[in-house]
């Protein structure tokens, strides 16, 4: 029996393969002992490794080193930032409501530590871009408000106008959180230019270890109330013994991702080539958000009559791994709340596929996808080859 071809991984937005430099660093650290809170040599060595990683993550966000608090992942980071209680210049501030985008990741759409009654959804246009006019209206009034908008969407790749949003938030004396989980390594992150009070990250999206995230604040004078309390770790902003190997791996990945974020032309060329070929093979395809600024690595598209669940199985049998959208639904393929918020019809939304490229994607991987795609279309909906969108 002939062996199957090597797998092609096109699902980096769900989680990128670990970079070899990260793995090597973590293995080295795991062979050492030392609690970073201990004063002996092993403890000081662990502390030094954490602080080196903290500096790398801060540089990724153009932030100050002490502004970084490590967490167990992006969801914990978002839960930490989404709180009605903040410290501002040393005094507690209690916020009345949360304004969150309609296309946010489930960890933000849940509202964090805000009650359901304290949450308001900010709509997007048909491309998935926040309605700035509506946001400005919502910010009018005397309510103390936290605004939470993602930097780039995990399903469509849409990049939000963060600097403009930040200026509106600042003018309203509100607080601003940016979920930058998908942005890291794929576009520059500048917490000052965005006027953001807090930015959240997840290491495994750009080749770091799973189970590592961070909250990065613009000023340590304005920080969200801790989610986990008890010990004085992370400058009293997150209790619990630090995961030294994970943090070190995060730091290595952050250094590499910072360089990649400044040069995305190669990634964009592969994405554009893929979309052009998909359209040529199947003229009836719909590419979502193609008129909006998008991450260079992300393409979300659909062919009416080819359900995503069936297509994903067909790709998997060919050893091609992609997604139907968010990977946070316990393996279920359901209608995307992102596409629904954009006004996409349910039948078409159920057909949405997402290809997301990453640090180790090669042109041969895209070519393999395009080699398989025509046969899947022919098998599942051959009429689509001759029908314009």
Average pLDDT over residues 276-290: 95
Check residue 386 and give its pLDDT.
72
328 noted as active-site residue: yes
Whether the per-residue pLDDT at 384 is higher than 90: the answer is no
Catalytic residue (one of 61, 248, 300, 328): 328
> In this structure, what token pair is assigned to residue 275?
């979309």
* pLDDT for 6: 84
Q: How many CB atoms lie within 10 A of CB 173?
A: 10
Phi-psi region of 128 (alpha: psi -120 to 50; beta: other; left: phi over 0): left
What CATH number should be reported for the domain whose range is 20-261? 3.40.640.10
Q: Residue 388: its pLDDT value, please?
A: 55
Q: Is the pLDDT of residue 262 over 90?
A: no
Mean pLDDT of the chain: 94
Closest CA to 57 of 356, 19, 49: 49
Integer Cα distance of 130 and 100 in angstroms: 10
Q: What is the pLDDT of residues 108-163, one digit of tens each?
A: 999 999 999 999 999 999 999 999 999 999 999 889 999 999 999 999 999 999 99
So where are the chain's domains? 8-17+264-386, 20-261
Q: Is the pLDDT of residue 285 over 80?
A: yes
Task: Give tens-digit pLDDT for 35-78.
Answer: 999 999 999 999 999 999 999 999 999 999 999 999 999 999 99
User: What is the structure's pLDDT at 318?
Assistant: 96
> What CATH number was assigned to the domain covering residues 8-17+264-386?
3.90.1150.10
pLDDT at 170 over 60: yes
Q: What is the mean pLDDT of residues 241-256?
A: 97
Q: pLDDT for 351-380, tens place per residue?
A: 999 999 999 999 999 999 999 999 999 999
């Amino acid at each position: 029996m002939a062996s199957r071809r090597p797998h092609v991984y096109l699902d980096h937005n769900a989680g990128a393969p670990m970079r070899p430099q990260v793995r090597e660093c973590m293995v080295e650290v795991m062979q050492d002992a030392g609690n970073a809170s201990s004063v002996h040599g092993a403890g000081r060595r662990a502390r030094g490794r954490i602080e080196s990683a903290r500096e790398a993550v801060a540089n990724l966000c153009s932030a100050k080193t002490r502004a970084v608090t490590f967490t167990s992942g992006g969801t914990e980071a978002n839960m930490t930032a989404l709180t009605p209680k903040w410290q501002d210049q040393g005094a507690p501030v209690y916020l009345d409501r949360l304004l969150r985008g309609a296309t946010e990741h489930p960890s933000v759409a849940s509202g964090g530590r805000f009650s359901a009654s304290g949450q308001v959804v900010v709509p997007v246009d048909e491309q998935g871009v926040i309605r700035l006019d509506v946001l400005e209206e919502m910010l009018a009034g005397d309510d103390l408000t936290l605004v939470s908008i993602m930097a780039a969407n995990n399903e469509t790749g849409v990049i939000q106008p963060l600097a403009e949003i930040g200026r509106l938030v600042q003018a309203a004396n509100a607080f601003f959180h940016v979920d930058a989980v998908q942005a890291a390594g794929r576009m520059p992150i500048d917490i000052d230019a965005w006027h953001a009070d807090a930015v959240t990250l997840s290491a495994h999206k750009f080749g770091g270890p799973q189970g590592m995230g961070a909250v990065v604040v613009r000023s340590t004078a304005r920080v969200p109330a801790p989610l986990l309390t008890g010990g004085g770790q992370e400058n009293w902003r997150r209790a619990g013994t630090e995961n030294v190997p994970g943090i070190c791996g995060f730091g290595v990945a952050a250094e590499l991702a910072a360089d990649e974020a400044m040069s995305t032309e190669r990634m964009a060329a592969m994405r554009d080539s893929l979309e052009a070929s998909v359209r040529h093979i199947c003229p009836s395809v719909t590419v979502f958000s193609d008129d909006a600024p998008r991450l260079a690595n992300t393409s979300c598209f659909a062919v009416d009559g080819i359900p995503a669940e069936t297509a994903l199985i067909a790709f998997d049998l060919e050893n091609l791994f992609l997604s139907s959208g968010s990977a946070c639904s316990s393996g279920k393929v359901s209608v995307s709340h992102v596409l629904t918020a954009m006004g996409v019809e349910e039948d078409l939304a159920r057909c949405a596929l997402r290809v997301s490229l990453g640090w180790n994607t090669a042109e041969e991987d895209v070519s393999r996808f395009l080699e398989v795609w025509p046969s899947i279309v022919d098998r599942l909906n051959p009429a689509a080859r001759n029908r314009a969108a």
